[in-house]
Amino acid sequence: MELTKKQEQIISVLIKLIIVTAIFFPIRDQYAKRSMYYTTFALPTFLSLCLVVYLGTVNTVRREKSRFMSVFIVFLLLYIGADLAINFLYHHYYWELFHKATAFMLLPFLWYKLPEDFFERKKIISFLLTVIVISCILSIVAYYMGIDQIKFVKGELVPKIVRHGESTYLDKRLTFTYPHKSEYGVFLVLFTGLCLKFKKFFSKQILFYGALGVLLYTTYLTNSVAALGCVGVVVVGYVLSRLPWKKIVEKYKIAIGGIGIVLCGIGVFGYQYIATKRDLTSMGARFPIWKASIEVIKQNPEGIGMEFEKLYLWNMANNCHNVFLVELLRYSIPVGILFLVLFLLIFGKTFWKYKTFSSAVWIGLFGILCIDYSLKDFNMPMLILCLFFLFFATEKRMGIEFKERKKNAENS
Average pLDDT, the chain: 87
- Say if 10 falls within a structural domain: yes
Distance from C-alpha of 79 to C-alpha of 97, rounded to nearest angstrom: 9
Global pTM?
A: 0.89
| CA distance to 22, 97, 159, 236, 397, per residue, from 48 (Å) | 10, 14, 22, 33, 21
| φ, ψ for residue 369, nearest 5 deg | -70, -30
Q: Which of 22, 24, 23, 16 is nearest to 42 (CA)?
A: 22
- What is the rounded average pLDDT of the residues 159-178? 84
| DSSP three-state, residue 104 | helix
Distance from C-alpha of 72 to C-alpha of 103, rounded to nearest angstrom: 13
Q: Which of 207, 245, 197 is nearest to 353 (CA)?
A: 197
Domain count, the chain: 1
- Say if 262 falls within a structural domain: no
- Say if 405 falls within a structural domain: yes
- Say if 127 falls within a structural domain: yes
- What is the rounded average pLDDT of the residues 228-250? 84
| pLDDT for residue 81 | 98
- Say if 256 falls within a structural domain: no
- Say if 218 falls within a structural domain: yes
Owning domain of residue 189: 5-242+278-411
Q: Which of 132, 138, 95, 129 is nearest to 330 (CA)?
A: 95
- Say if 259 falls within a structural domain: no
| pLDDT for residue 66 | 84
Position 402 confidence tier, pLDDT thresholds 50, 70, 90:
very low
- What is the rounded average pLDDT of the residues 145-170? 83
- Say if 318 falls within a structural domain: yes
Structural Rg of the chain based on CA atoms:
22
Position 35 confidence tier, pLDDT thresholds 50, 70, 90:
low
Could you read off the pLDDT of 247-267 as tens digits, one per residue?
A: 666 555 555 566 666 667 666
- What is the rounded average pLDDT of the residues 126-138? 97
Position 167 confidence tier, pLDDT thresholds 50, 70, 90:
confident
pLDDT at 272 over 80: no
Position 59 confidence tier, pLDDT thresholds 50, 70, 90:
confident
